[in-house]
Amino acid sequence: MSNTVNVGIIGCGNISTTYMRMGQFFRDYKVVACADLNMEAAEARAAEFGLRALSIEDLLADPEIEIVVNLTIPNAHFEVSSNILKAGKHVYSEKPFVLTADEGAALKALAGEKGLRIGSAPDTFMGGSHQKAREMIDGGEIGAVTSGTIHVMSGGMEHWHPNPDFFFEPGAGPVLDIGPYYITNLVQLIGPVTRVVAFTSTPQPERTIGCGPRNGEKIPVTTPTTIHAVLQFANGAVISYGTSWDVKDHGHANMELYGQEGTLYVPDPNFFGGQLRLAKGDGSEALISTGHPFSQANDGDQANYRGAGLADMAAAIRKGRPHRCNNDLAGHVVEVMGAILEAGETGQAVTIQTTCERPAPFSADDAFAIMELEDS
């Protein structure tokens, strides 16, 4: 058996190019085939990246493919991932992993029956800035984290996306579309969530597409687009979470964590890099250097290592160790996001039923171990 794990991709939309293109940076997996309900889309991606274009059925039946990456729309994630597992393949899903905690539990049970693994984006928490923040928190640099704030707000996707419909439907919205990055990073930094309260609203019942061939077309909004929540963590921390697609501008930092001895200003968890800043109780402030390869620009001026979670999973399969972007982590985050929406709808606090271990830290040495280095 080769050390490199062969990967197939189902879903040949925009995000597929990221996985196909970024695979060059990792040694443990190789994308060899792709499939889509639209065979022309699969053939176009295959021609672009030198892959085999297969039907979904043929990709699932291919004995050389060990992991299948699920890049379908969120509403299809559960069904497609179920079919991947039933075909005897490990599955790695784009976020959100599934749309409900029950779906996550069903997939976990199926994977257990089959002796297979489930992985899921996001993997941006493996980035240099976020891992340095983890190291500092674990090392007591700001003392015990007691509270914090998250703000991720914009005017919405209809201004730049030519087909933004799904962003404003159940299964998306700012919680399920953007929330996985922020909540996953919080869990890896300070641990699991135990309880949620929230208020939600839908200020605009429809949106107007602002670009592309559908410019000027109005689309309905059927999921909340402004959400303010408070998350209580098992370690006692209480963190405010404000997310919206109804905000034209704001001055809030993406993530601030307040400890007994200081504050960490954590960069946007949607990205691997960014500026990490420490402020201590004595009034001192410092920009923190990470010394981590996943802080280095590799995609224009961006540190873009999407696919790191897939590479870590591939290496973990070969080495028989746990992988970081695992189904317990992803399933817990899904339940938290669902609880936020439920709390906003009912006005009641929601207790989280699942829990998870924090993923193992991802050091610079861990990163080098999965990278495809020029001299390797």
The pLDDT tens digits of the residues spanning 248-295 come to 999 999 999 999 999 999 999 999 999 999 999 888 999 999 999 999
Has residue 114 got a pLDDT over 70?
yes
Query: How far is it, in rounded angstroms, from Cα 223 to Cα 165?
Result: 11
Q: What is the mean pLDDT of residues 329-351?
A: 97
Q: What is the mean pLDDT of residues 159-183?
A: 92
Closest alpha carbon to 304 in 72, 19, 59:
19
Strand partners, 49: none
Give the pLDDT of residue 278: 97
Q: Name the region of 143 (left: φ>0; alpha: ψ -120 to 50; beta: rest).
A: left
Query: How far is it, in rounded angstroms, from Cα 49 to Cα 67?
Result: 18
* pTM tops 0.85, yes or no: yes
Half-sphere exposure of 328 (CA within 13 A, CB side): 13
Query: How far is it, in rounded angstroms, from Cα 125 to Cα 271?
Result: 8
What band does 171 get if pLDDT is binned at 50, 70 and 90?
confident
Query: How far is it, in rounded angstroms, from Cα 307 to Cα 272?
Result: 11
Q: What is the mean pLDDT of residues 154-165?
A: 92
Q: What is the mean pLDDT of residues 324-333?
A: 96
Has residue 237 got a pLDDT over 50?
yes
Q: What is the mean pLDDT of residues 112-124?
A: 97
The pLDDT tens digits of the residues spanning 93-113 come to 999 999 999 999 999 999 999
CB proximity list for 34: less than 8 A, separation 6 or greater: 8, 9, 10, 12, 16, 20, 42, 45, 46, 49, 51, 52, 53, 54, 59
Give the pLDDT of residue 176: 93
Has residue 151 got a pLDDT over 80?
yes
Q: What is the mean pLDDT of residues 71-89?
A: 96
Give the pLDDT of residue 1: 56
Give the pLDDT of residue 170: 87
Q: What is the mean pLDDT of residues 41-58?
A: 97
**Percent residues over pLDDT 70 in the chain:** 98
Give the pLDDT of residue 375: 47
Query: How far is it, in rounded angstroms, from Cα 239 to Cα 236?
Result: 10
Mean residue pLDDT across the chain: 95
The pLDDT tens digits of the residues spanning 123-139 come to 999 999 999 999 999 99
Q: What is the mean pLDDT of residues 7-14?
A: 95
Give the pLDDT of residue 373: 65
Has residue 203 got a pLDDT over 70?
yes
Q: What is the mean pLDDT of residues 16-30?
A: 93
Q: What tokens were used for 249? A: 């501008």
Closest alpha carbon to 241 in 173, 161, 309, 182:
182
Has residue 245 got a pLDDT over 80?
yes
Query: How far is it, in rounded angstroms, from Cα 158 to Cα 272?
Result: 25
CA distances from 163 to 98, 201, 214, 225, 288 (A): 22, 23, 8, 17, 39
Give the pLDDT of residue 376: 41
Half-sphere exposure of 325 (CA within 13 A, CB side): 29
